[in-house]
Each structure stands twice: as C-alpha cells, then as structure tokens.
Homo-oligomer: A and B are copies of this chain.
Amino acid sequence: MDSMDWALLRELQDDARLSYSELSRRVHLSPPAVAERVRRLETAGVITGYHAHVDLTKAGRHVVALIRMSCYGPRCVLRDPEVLNWPEVLEVHRVTGDACSILKVVTASMEDFESTIDRLAPYGQPSSTMVLSTPLRWRPLSPLSPTVDQGSRSSE
C-alpha cells in the first residue's frame, strides 16, 4: 500500500469505470503495471467491489431512516439471515450502547416503513430516527499519512 496504490484507489473510488489505460495516464504508470496493482488490490480484499450508486429519491425511496434495535430474547436481527436479506434494509451495524444494532432502512412510503417497523418489532424494540436530508452521502477513503500525489510530474 504505497502512494501509487492510493493514487489508484483515489481514482477508482471517484470513477470505478475508468479503464486501465485511462488510469495509467492519470497516475503516470504503464498500463500493465496498473492492471497488476489493481488486481492485487482486488485479491487482497482492499477493494471490496465496484458499485453504481443510485439516487434514493429518484428510485422512489422517499423514506430513509436509521433504526436502533434493542433486541431481547433468543432472536436478534444480527443472527437472523432473513432480516439481512430484506430489500429495504441497506445496512446493518452491530454497535455499542443500549442498542445492539443500527439498521439503515429505505422505503417508498411511510406506510411501507410502518410495515417494516411491524416486522422488526418481534426481534426487539425498534427506535427510529428519520433522515431529513444527507449533506454528505459518501466520501472516498484517503491515505492515512498525507501522501503527496506523484501524478503531477512534468514528464507528460
């Protein structure tokens, strides 16, 4: 994970559809070297996937919520593979504190959201926080030690 790997990660986090050739131009490395490095990042599990991001509202999801689940008894959303497969559940995090997990849920309507809450209730006490807007939807990961971009040399 040197500065060249981070340069590649920066570009691929910004635009996952860049070709190896275009990447090679941006990071000033030859295409074969770029291809090898990217494959290494993939097989090492540093890159977990390439995903198109879809606008929730334009996809008809007008309700976004974070639900804190306080599970009790034998059932828990963390242990139930069924809940993890519900299409309206986009993320599940196990957390510290009073709650055992936090779910990111998106639905088309409040009616659908109410249905989700009803289906979650048997697992424990759901506490919903509605998302009004999202000023920052996503940020790419940057290198820990401020690595200087080596892509702006005069050798173009």
Q: Does A59 lie at the interface of the complex (its beta carbon under 8 Å from any beta carbon of B)? A: yes
Q: Does A118 lie at the interface of the complex (its beta carbon under 8 Å from any beta carbon of B)? A: no
Protomer copies: 2
Q: Does A74 lie at the interface of the complex (its beta carbon under 8 Å from any beta carbon of B)? A: no
Q: Which residues of B contact A15 (CB under 8 A)?
A: 49-50
Interface size on A, residues (CB 8 A): 59
CB pair A52–B52 under 8 Å, yes or no, is no
CB pair A132–B95 under 8 Å, yes or no, is yes
Distance, CA A3 to CA B125, complexed state (A) = 36
Distance, CA A96 to CA B133, complexed state (A) = 10
CB pair B16–A16 under 8 Å, yes or no, is yes
CB pair B52–A12 under 8 Å, yes or no, is yes
CB pair A94–B48 under 8 Å, yes or no, is no
> A134: which of B50, B55, B93, B96 is its contact (CB, 8 Å)?
B93
Q: Which residues of B contact A129 (CB under 8 A)?
A: 95-97, 99, 102
Nearest neighbor of A44 in chain B, beta-carbon distance: B58
Interface string of A21-59 (1 = CB under 8 A from B): 000000000000000000000001111111111111011
On A, residues with C-beta under 8 Å from B are 1, 9, 12-17, 44-56, 58-61, 64, 66, 78, 84, 87, 89-97, 99, 101-102, 106, 108, 129-142, 144
